[in-house]
Amino acid sequence: MKNNLLVLNIITLFIASCVGPPDYSDGLLENVPAIVNENDYFSLSLLGDKYTEKSEWNLDLDVTSLDKILTTMVVKDLAIGASDSTYLFLVDEQGDTMFSAGLFSELVVTSQDSIIVIGSPKKVILDSDNFSGRLEYQIIKTVE
C-alpha cells in the first residue's frame, strides 16, 4: 500500500512538473521579426521564409544635433525570384526618407552619419513581398 502510494505521488509530481515548449515571439523562428528598440539602439533581425508583410516601428532613439548614428545592415542567405521585392526604409521626423534599400542581393552596409547633417531618424519601415533570407539591421547612437 505504501509503495503504491509512493509511486502514485511520484507519477503525479512528474506530470505536474512537465512544461510545454516555449512560445517564441522574438525572431528565433522564421517570419517573426526580433526588435530591440531603446533610446540609444535599434535592432531588427529577421529570418524570412517567403515573408510578406509591411511593418513599421517608431524609433525610441533619443538623439541631439551633436550625436552621430552608426548604421549597419547585413543581408545573407537570400533566395529571391523575379517577382519578389523587399525594401527597408529609414524615415525622419518630417516623414522624409533618409535611407532606402532594395533587398535584392546579399550585402553588408555600414555608415556613420551626423544627426546635424542627415536629420533625426524616427521610423523604420520594412515592406517585404516574399522575402527569403536573413536580415540584420542596427542603428546605434554615438556621441562625439
16 has a pLDDT exceeding 80: no
- Give the cell for residue 97: 526618407
φ/ψ of 115, rounded to 5, equals -60, -35
Higher pLDDT pick, 18 / 56: 56
Higher pLDDT pick, 20 / 90: 90
Cα(144)–Cα(137) distance, rounded to whole angstroms?
22
118 has a pLDDT exceeding 80: yes
Which residues 6+ apart lie within 8 Å of 48 measured at CB?
Answer: 30, 31, 128, 131, 132, 133, 134, 135
pTM score:
0.79
